Structure 1
């Protein structure tokens, strides 16, 4: 079930509401509403094809120019019976997942092409000229803006220095740190210059400086030079990539929101540590079975006084609580994605105990259906893990 729009605050008040999340939602609702009569966009991926063909379909969709990204969106998974808004959620989640994990694409010699590189919370655009020539950073901006606009996942882990530059921050206050440097050799050079080692050890550093038209290191310029090397690596070498990335974001229509509501920027680009799911975050969102009615696939209902039904509901609900309480962050993300179509918990995530063989989900209604037959947690855990592992290829439903 789609979350109801908040009509207590006029949509036009996104500039003034105090809560940045509320402001972002109002802005998106306004932009989507103004384009509701635009030509619908159709994003289709055939999950029966290999990963490279699936990824090519996503990239091709976002490579199109002169697109109104706020127009209505309809997604389809060919080879999967799922339909409705849950498919849209699944697709937006897949797009962001691919931006983080990499695309199977025929670009260069790598089997997996990553548009961003580096460590968690310090990702910067790749310096690959091939990615730049193929406008892949424009594609990244469109993907992130499109997902955000349609209430999908945000893009976590981007370097604060890149976010600062992307949003027009002054160069002199760019918060670059050595952890923003993905090249470990350059990182070591920066650390050496910033330390107290003898200059005779700096042959490789000297060659690096000269290749970037910087002076050779000496006793008086080494600290300054370490900062210049770091800034050049993180910002100056990625300048064109950042410009492409910015253009892609602007094309989605989000720029006015980001400029006028700077407090929304951490929502669009959260720290990866802040994006991690915890068991309590999920447990707080679950709507547990409120009656003892077990729904059969035939939609025949048991009587409320059926004691075995009462026992089954309590037992299986307890198994789910145990699973959530002990699951790893990766397992929690898989569970939520299987349940509602993406990794962000919904306000209300419903549970039903049903007569069935395996766990299934109705993502459109944010509902998880668990079979009543489980008599041991071991088998419950085994089946649930098997089902949620399908969430990145489909919905795991018959």
Structure 2
């Protein structure tokens, strides 16, 4: 979900759409969130503050501490602050929600079990499962993760992509026996190898016998190997993460989004999209861009506009189009985050050609400012890459 208003929700006064009946699930989620936030608009605001001058571990501890608080009305008004940064407004909120989901996907700089980076979910894309760490479970990290996901959804932030369909099935009340588990859902390579061997017709190695014995399962033989394969897989993927999934559910419920997800199950894929569906493509970005007027250039230093020939504007705009068309997926995400504060394109993203030394952005206004002086694509590419590579330190403001 992005922070813009879906066109179909911009109803005439007195003709407000109902999230229960509106056909489009994204629209239903947007309407539900707006109603819930409006209902709680007079509650005391939640204050989320991170000091960008601190090292990553301290910043991550601040995020986790915020979401590990209990008895919080998560649909209260939200005020985000980046200490050590002059940015204010909705751009900071977008940046914070984007950071929270990014950390859920990539890991927090927190020391659990001696690891430099702690990942709450493990496995391959579109088959992520909760970590089996008892330390993460006992510390309530999965409740915090559920709050992060629901909170971002409420504030039209990024969704959490790539969660295993089997975990989603159990998360929303499906039985363990009917969970659509596949071998790709199992992050444990030893279990994967054992399951693959049991599914085949070849000789069963001693390591598989030892694994079954350690899990109090019967010894494999020609008659039970297929059934044993399924039991191993379900235990590794579902049973060993059952408590983590329950914590995740409680965290989601606390944010207030559960009525929407139970009554509109078609919204669940909006909250937990496939990672492949969540990827940003060049055409998606290009379709969102509002290109600059060919006759106006903004002089940042003097905050004045003057008319200019079309040559500079067309040339630099063309450089940006070329960059987008040839950028990697990682570069596209960095560009969008530099531009508007998170990795998902907004419905309208503005471009200005300016008299300046380097690219900059006004994230609150979803506006990218590009210097007019570039005469070669190579130097434009170099400057833009340098700027978007450092979006996390200030997320690209002028």
Q: State the TM-score bracket (shorter-chain normalisation).
A: over 0.9
Among candidates 298, 301, 305, match of residue 305 of structure 2: 301
Alignment of 1:312-391 (within 5 A): 312-391=312-391
Q: 1:142 Cα deviation (Å)?
A: 0.4
Unaligned 5+ segments in structure 2 are none
Tell me the distance in 2 between the aligned counterparts of 1:211 and 1:133: 24
Q: Look up the match of 2:196.
A: 191
C-alpha deviations, 1:258-291, integer Å up to 9, x for none? 1111111111001111111110000000000134
Q: Look up the match of 2:31.
A: 26
Q: 1:326 Cα deviation (Å)?
A: 0.4
Tell me the distance in 2 between the aligned counterparts of 1:174 and 1:75: 39
Tell me the distance in 2 between the aligned counterparts of 1:300 and 1:332: 31
Q: TM-score, normalised by structure 1?
A: 0.96
8 A Cα contact 2:176 2:238, kept in partner: no
Corresponding residue pairs, total: 392
Tell me the distance in 2 between the aligned counterparts of 1:393 and 1:59: 19
Q: 1:6 Cα deviation (Å)?
A: 2.1
Q: Look up the match of 2:76.
A: 71
Alignment of 1:107-256 (within 5 A): 107-199=112-204, 201=205, 203-256=206-259
Unaligned 5+ segments in structure 1 are none
Tell me the distance in 2 between the aligned counterparts of 1:393 and 1:231: 42
Q: Residues 253, 216 of structure 1: CA spacing in aligned structure 2 closer, same or farther, 3 A cutoff?
A: same
8 A Cα contact 1:52 1:103, kept in partner: yes
8 A Cα contact 1:348 1:366, kept in partner: yes
Describe the SS at the equivalent of 2:303.
coil
Does 1:267 find its partner at 2:265? no
Q: 1:7 Cα deviation (Å)?
A: 3.1
Q: 1:12 Cα deviation (Å)?
A: 6.4
Report runs of 4+ in structure 1 exceeding 6 Å deviation: none
Tell me the distance in 2 between the aligned counterparts of 1:12 and 1:206: 59
CA RMSD of the aligned region, Å? 1.4
Q: TM-score, normalised by structure 2?
A: 0.96
Alignment of 1:78-117 (within 5 A): 78-117=83-122
Tell me the distance in 1 between the aligned counterparts of 2:224 and 2:4: 58
Tell me the distance in 2 between the aligned counterparts of 1:10 and 1:390: 44
Tell me the distance in 1 between the aligned counterparts of 2:328 and 2:55: 28
Does 1:280 find its partner at 2:283? yes
Describe the SS at the equivalent of 1:294.
strand
Tell me the distance in 1 between the aligned counterparts of 2:328 and 2:222: 49
8 A Cα contact 1:123 1:158, kept in partner: yes
Describe the SS at the equivalent of 1:345.
coil
